[in-house]
Amino acid sequence: MSTNATPSSAIDKLVIESEVRRLLSVYAHNLDYGKVDANAELLAAAKFNIAGTIVEGRDSIAEFLRTNLQYHVDDTPRTWHSVSNVLIDIESTTAARSICYFTVHQELPGLPLQPIVTGRYIDAFELHDGAWRFASREIEPRLFGDLSKHVAAAAETPAE
């Protein structure tokens, strides 16, 4: 069987789907617990596209996550990511894609628990050295709430 063949058994397909779902969940857990380096490692081989800003490489991804999200007294963003409506397309025994919805809730003193952003993750995955990994992740935000305690303020641009 070619390494790029379509999985032939239902078990093979279920294993790939399970690995993809695990990667989706690990990313969300890492975000909520402030594990920047773990997510940078998870996305190290991926093209990371955040609403049109493309970041690649472990160190660049870690720096992006550290500087563009706010971390609070417990060193987390005080968020809770939910991933739903997961659609997985298995392209071959070494490649898969998924689209899913995300909802991010946040709570802080003075900020009651509330949804702050929803959208889609559009992902590609590849089998590399016997393990599944992200090949790309696109974050497509759709609906917005109060992001003032989540997204770091953009640096002010000097007046020209």
Q: Report percent pLDDT > 70 for the chain.
A: 93
**pLDDT given for residue 154 in this prediction:** 54
User: In the predicted model, what is the mean pLDDT of residues 37-52?
Assistant: 97
Q: Count other C-beta atoms under 10 Å from residue 134's C-beta.
A: 22
Beta carbons of 61 and 44 less than 8 angstroms apart: yes
User: Could you tell me which residue, 115 or 154, shows the higher pLDDT?
Assistant: 115
Is 80 exceeded by the pLDDT of residue 157? no
The band of 40, judged by pLDDT with boundaries at 50, 70 and 90, is very high
Strands 131-144, 47-50: parallel, antiparallel or unpaired by DSSP?
parallel
Which pLDDT belongs to residue 156?
A: 42
Q: Taking the C-alpha atoms of 62, 142, 117 and 31 in order, what is their torsion angle to the nearest 10 degrees? A: -30
Find out whether 28 and 50 touch, Cβ atoms under 8 Å.
no
pLDDT level of residue 92 (50, 70, 90 thresholds): very high
- Residue closest to 52 by CA, chosen among 119, 99, 113, 129: 119
What the block records as the tokens of 75 is 């060193």
- Calculate the average pLDDT of the chain: 93
Bridging pattern class, strands 95-108 and 53-56? unpaired
Question: What is the reported pLDDT for 7?
Answer: 81
pLDDT score recorded for residue 158: 43
Identify the CATH class of 10-144: alpha beta
pLDDT of the residue at 1: 40
Mark 61-84 as b/e (b = at least 16 C-beta within 10 Å).
bbebbeeebbeeeeeebbbebebe
**How would DSSP label each residue in 43-76?**
TTTSEEEETTEEEESHHHHHHHHHHHB---TTSS
96 pLDDT higher than 90: yes
